[in-house]
Chains A and B, each alone.
Chain A
Amino acid sequence: MVYYIFTLVFFCFDYFILAMGLNIEYGETGILNFAYIGFVAIGAYFTGVFSLHSAANSGQHYILGLGLPFPINLLLGGIATMAFALIVALITLRRLRTDYLAIVLISLSLVLYDFCNNFVSIFNGADGLYNVPEPYAKAFGLTVNSFIPFFACVTALISLLMWFVMSRVTRAPMGRTFRAIRDDQVVAAALGKNVFRMQLKSMLIGSFYAGIGGGLLIQFGGSFNPTAWLPGETFVIFAVLIVGGAGNNIGMFVGALLVETLLIHLPAFLPEIPGHPGLIEYFDNAVVGIVLMLMLWFRPQGVVPAGIRRAATFGVVERDHDSSLPTSTEMPLLSSGVGNE
């Protein structure tokens, strides 16, 4: 029972992080990153190979194997994901926008998947990485059962810290400029914003979140292989984002709770339908798809819609009048004639 509840807690907070990362890219900046799960995987693999010791006697094939302790490996996993994102962004963001960018990124996701699945010597191919050390399990004498609640709490703490940072970013002028770019790139550029550079920033921040979320996945399960990141998984995170409410960080938590926890992981713990083993799990994606369509139809702004930032929150003294007419009498208005055709 404890195992069961804390597994759900873990996935809820982990997907909270993943959704915040996708939110800054798509919800705030409008970058349709259909390769997002690929960035998650890069984070997971790198966190794994930074944590694992040398591959020599492990029966696995992988690069690095530095044996770094948690959370240094996790942090470096996030940074490795940013480095990967930098390369992707330099190639794609400068030239492509919206749908075209999305098509290229979904292709990237497929290529990356096939590459990691078949090229054994980097991340152990289709078998993936396993026996990744459980953080602090030895130091705290954690068993298989006590590790799960422990790590779920660690993940919750990390996600809250990352939420704090993200809410600062989205509230700052930086977030506002991201949203300006989302609404109209041409206008943002005409206002002097370097659109490419801001999109790059957004993508790097989002990829860091993807990398950390992925790193926590491999640390939680101790293993990570290509079945965990089929390219379609990106759309589960999009479902989290859309159900929660694009452009709202709190919404990402609600979305993670509703979609990832209740729809994807809870059914796995339900009793089987007699005579149809595994049937419930097969329904997962269909249910997510239906929920996504219903949301887009009836409540496209999500469960927790993006709020607006009111003038009062800028610390200014608001005037008491509420006139819609200009108040300044110094304005030299045209005497007459203009406009009277």
Chain B
Amino acid sequence: MLDAPSRTGALRCEGITKAFQGVHAVNGAAFDIPEGQVTALIGPNGAGKTTVVNILSGSMACDSGREFIGETEVTNWPSHKIARLGLFRTFQLSRELGGLTVLENLLTAPADQAGESLVNVLFRPGLIRRQERENAERALHVLDVYGLYRHRDTPARELSGGQKKLLEIARAVMASPKILLLDEPMAGVNPALIELIGGYILDLKQSGVTVLMIEHNLNVVEQICDYVIVLAEGRTLATGRLSELRENTEVVRAYLGEVIDAGPAH
């Protein structure tokens, strides 16, 4: 039985708003993401889910509201600083680093690489070589687990859609995340792969990673998510377990009701 998240949630936001030329995409979203759990962010199309993820990860600035990672306020921090605190994300439409190989995509992720400093590049090649070998070994292991080992030397732009989805998650895993925001990790992939990705997410949870995922497939939500946040018209409509939310008439009307996957018109 999962209790309501405490004040020390891994990720917390209050009154987030964001308008695009007068249209309020997010209008006061507020929620806590419990630490070490898998939380689903659901809601009809246009509810502002991706915008919320963009704001939480620093890819986009919000107009007002506050965001906290643990106890640290990170409102409108740039995304590279948020990433330093261990929050990483994937994108709804896969954004692979196309010109890099699959392995290089993963090798981009680790923080604090000695080889990113010119002084080390010029004077400490041994240190870089050692670190590169360690990172490459770990990256190849991650690729192995994610079924991409065979494609390690393939330029990422040549992967299929499903493989790119896996690469996105693998790359985020390579960054050793504490909090992972997954924007529709299972959209447009075949059922077998959905099962696979679901397994990876549960595995991440077991290793202590806090996961927030946008997901439309309620079967998936039911099976792997501990906690659900319903967003509608940019506001947090309800939070809780899916079974509880099914009883909530507002939620049913906004999302669960007639149409499940396509997202109702509103």
Contact surface of A with B, Cβ cutoff 8 Å: 165, 168-169, 172-174, 176-177, 179-180, 182-184, 186-195, 198, 201, 205, 247, 306, 308-311, 314-316, 318-319, 321-328, 331-334, 337-341
Contact = CB atoms under 8 A, between A and B. Distances in A.
Given A186-B59, A333-B199, A334-B223, A180 B100 contact: yes
Contact of B196 (A187, A193, A333): A333
A308 B122 CA distance: 22
Contacts, number: 186
A165 B122 contact: yes
A205 B116 CA distance: 13
Given A174-B118, A326-B146, A339-B186, 6 more contacts: A169-B121, A172-B128, A328-B144, A339-B191, A339-B220, A340-B191
A187 B59 CA distance: 9
Contacts of B149: 319, 321-324, 327
B219 interface: yes
A179 B99 contact: yes
B133 A183 contact: no
Given A338-B219, A339-B191, A190 B203 contact: no
Contacts of B132: 173, 314-315
Given A183-B99, A328-B145, A174 B121 contact: yes
A339 B188 CA distance: 11
Given A193-B80, A309-B104, A339 B97 contact: no
Contacts of B151: 324
B20 to A, nearest CB: 17
A322 B152 CA distance: 10
B171 interface: yes
Contact of B175 (A180, A191, A319): A191
Interface string B202-236: 11001000000000010110011000000000000
A135 B242 CA distance: 79
Contacts of B88: 190-192
Given A323-B149, A332-B199, A189 B59 contact: yes
Most B-side CB within 10 Å, residue of A173, A201, A328: A173
Contacts of A247: 99
Contacts of A334: 195, 198-199, 202, 223-224
B68 interface: no
Given A173-B113, A339-B194, A191 B129 contact: no
Contacts of A325: 147
B155 interface: yes
Nearest to B114: A173
A179 B96 CA distance: 12
10 contacts: A187-B91, A201-B118, A311-B136, A314-B136, A323-B147, A324-B147, A332-B203, A334-B195, A334-B223, A340-B191
